[in-house]
Amino acid sequence: MDNLFAVIVPNASSCVSLSLIDCMLSRTPINRADAVSHRISTAHHTIYLVNYARAPKAPPGESKVDSAIVGFHRVDNKKTLLSLCGAGKDDVSGDNMPDDEVLLRAYQLLGAECFAKVKGNFQSILWDEGSQRLCAALDPFSGRSLFYLKLNDMFCVASDAKTLAQVANITPTVNKAAVSQWLSGRPDPNISMFNEISRLPLGSCLEYSIEHGVEVTQFWDINPAKSIIYTDDEEYKAHFFELLKTSVENRLRVNGSAEKPPVFCQMSGGMDSTSVTAMANALLGPDSSLYSSALAGRGDLHTLSHRYKNTTSCDERNNINDMVTTLGLSHQHYIDLDQFGSCAFAQLYPTNYDSPGIVISPKYEQELALMDSVGADVLLTGNGGDETCWGHSASYRSRLYGGDFGVIGEVVSACKQLDEPVAKSLYRLFVPSGIQDLVKLARNVPVNKFECPVWLTDRAVSLVEQESLGVNNPFSATFDPARHARYQGVKCTSTYNAMRSYQKIASGYGVDVRHPFFDVDIVEFSFAVPEKLLIQGVYPKWLLRHTMQGYLPDSVCWDKHKVVFDHHFANLVRCNRLELRTLLSHEGLQDLGLVDNAILLREFDAVVDNPNGYLNVDMLYAILTQLWFQTHCV
């Protein structure tokens, strides 16, 4: 796992700082001397910066540098960034300058503003001697985390919350608001689960100085005023294609490796992972018109797919086989997920201290061990495809209110193709939510604005509502409902759970997990183009499909049905019903005033007693939250 941390401590407490460093290093499980560490002494303080992805158990040596940086960095626009710092046009040294040095130089000259100008991914902690500041920053869509804690006269930053709890020698109290959000199925990925430990939000920069304390600045957000208007769809397709190609190419680059490390792509049968795989295959293939000579240092492309032999509704082998045949893929690997059917739930999804959604699953361990065995250093995923390309059903309503009456016929036709009820769909899509709430009240149907699960107490629902007010959504829920909903989805998507879970494990194998759809340029583009381009008729991801036709087999590109895994998880829950019912019976969260156990168990029994039923995602969140609470807080 990542073990990135920094400490600033008064010299008078040097003995404390040494024991603090020892405490941190005691958590590193692998004894390999590839750490980067610095100890910087000032007149009154000592600053430790350590990056132990696979650390030796020894304190860092003395560093004589005035400024230093540690972390994980991929800067795609180094020359542009350096030019902003005053480098001349003809200065080519930036091409060879390490990414972390580019970031350090940019911060020294531009301050926190530099991070908004970086194209790439970064998890950075640095000490700037000039400003006497300790700085930490995360890119807007990082799969990594940073936590911080002020302890008397010491300030600590680390890549995981447990390190800080151990350093401070405290048992932190749970953040009831954060727990309520998890129980509601709407967790905020930027909120810490503990009151005493803070999480640095994505797309934010933290600066700490003795004089001013902690200052957190959000350096990136979606610009609601940005708009992209072309005369025809072909121009949108060309623009989007170039953005996706550039994003994948940037994430395939090799930095300073004498060998040719292979790269892995997760490849299900859906649009997102197949689009990334197809683009990577084209960029790496010397016979392709998209071949990039800049990737000549990259090795072979490998794909990793899941098989569900006993749950046919989840199995995507037909689409996967079509991808292999169409693209001529040579290195396929498969993980049979049914092999884990006999595992207890807690063994299969052990939660991490950081949050209930980060699970250190043996499934992920097996996948990363496979990648490690062939020397891969990068895993590409399709994460972010739903958030950037799916669109939202509310766009149909916006189109109707904007005078596009043909959208009604479009919806009716789509309902017939998907065998969905026409009248119910028209009511749900085109009648304003306020009127639907009035109809519910007239029929004595409870109205829950946030649609929280029934087992949440009034106190928990109130906490969820309060926290939702803290999300500053720049889009109007009334006049721009599709973008309003999509903004909420991008900021609070559960996809961050999968990203952080994979990266926690992947870091221990020296693999960086990268997500081409979660690219700032792609996200900004998706909010700037007309919503109609994202979803039309029977097809969500309309623009992605039209952009990738010719690169994907038709069976994948024009598949009308999205595979969901509710049935798979329902079977898993039924197989572990005794374990999970005992888990859900624990009264800890009920004692906190957040859950009504009687209602939760009643709903759980309804799921497991129905052999053909599906598992509502809210129930899965309740199970994970209880597992996390009992593992780390009891």
User: What is the DSSP code string of 172-231?
Assistant: PPB-HHHHHHHHHT---TTS-SBSSSEEPPTTEEEEEETTTEEEEEE-----TT-----S
Instruction: For 304-358, write each residue's pLDDT tens digit.
Output: 999 887 777 677 889 999 999 999 999 999 998 878 777 889 999 999 999 999 9
Q: Model confidence at 62, in pLDDT bands (50, 70, 90)?
A: very low
Numbered ranges of CATH 3.60.20.10 in the chain: 4-218
- SS3 of 5, please? strand
Q: Which two tokens stand for residue 324?
A: 């292999």
Residue 204: which residues within 8 A CB-CB, separation 6 or more? 137, 138, 216, 217, 218, 219
Per-residue pLDDT of 566-602, as tens digits, reads 667 777 888 889 999 999 999 999 999 999 999 999 9
pLDDT greater than 90 at residue 255: no
Q: Is the dihedral of CA 390, 395, 399, 402 positive or negative?
A: negative
CB 161 within 8 Å of CB 620: no
Tell me the pLDDT tens digit for each residue of 226-253.
999 999 999 999 999 999 999 999 999 9
> Which pLDDT does position 434 carry in this prediction?
66
pLDDT digit string (tens) for 409-432? 988 888 888 888 888 888 888 877
Q: What is the pLDDT of residue 138?
A: 97
Mean pLDDT confidence for 198-223: 95
- CA angle (533 as vertex; 528, 538 as ends), nearest 5: 145
Average pLDDT over residues 559-564: 75
pLDDT over 50 at 554, yes or no: yes
Is the backbone of residue 546 left (phi > 0), alpha (psi -120 to 50) or beta?
A: alpha
Element (H, E) at 413: helix 406-418
Where are the CATH 3.40.50.620 domain residues in the chain? 231-562
Higher-scoring residue by pLDDT: 423, 88: 423
Whole-structure pTM value: 0.92
Q: Which residue has the higher pLDDT, 137 or 14?
A: 137
Distance of CA 336 to the CA centre of its chain: 24
Q: How confident is the model at residue 56 (pLDDT cuts 50, 70, 90)?
A: very low
pLDDT value of residue 445: 54
Determine the pLDDT at residue 116: 95
What mean pLDDT do residues 116-124 have? 95
**CATH code for the domain defined by 4-218:** 3.60.20.10
Residues 23-34: what's their mean pLDDT?
47
pLDDT for 180 beyond 90: yes
**Residue 422: count of CB within 10 angstroms of its CB:** 13
* For the chain, percent of residues with pLDDT exceeding 90: 59
Across the range 475-501, mean pLDDT stands at 92
The whole-number pLDDT of residue 202 equals: 97
Matching residue, tokens 């920053």:
137
Secondary structure in 3-state letters for 108-153: HHHHHHHHHHCCEEEEEEEEECCCCEEEEEECCCCCCCCEEEEECC
pLDDT at position 59: 44
**φ and ψ at residue 219, rounded to 5 degrees:** -100, -5
In the block, residue with structure tokens 């158990």:
57
What is the chain's mean pLDDT, rounded? 87
Question: How far, in Å, CA of 89 to CA of 272, rounded?
Answer: 38
CATH 3.40.50.620, domain 231-562, yes or no:
yes
Most confident of 90-104, 212-226, 562-576: 212-226
Mean local confidence (pLDDT), 166-173: 88
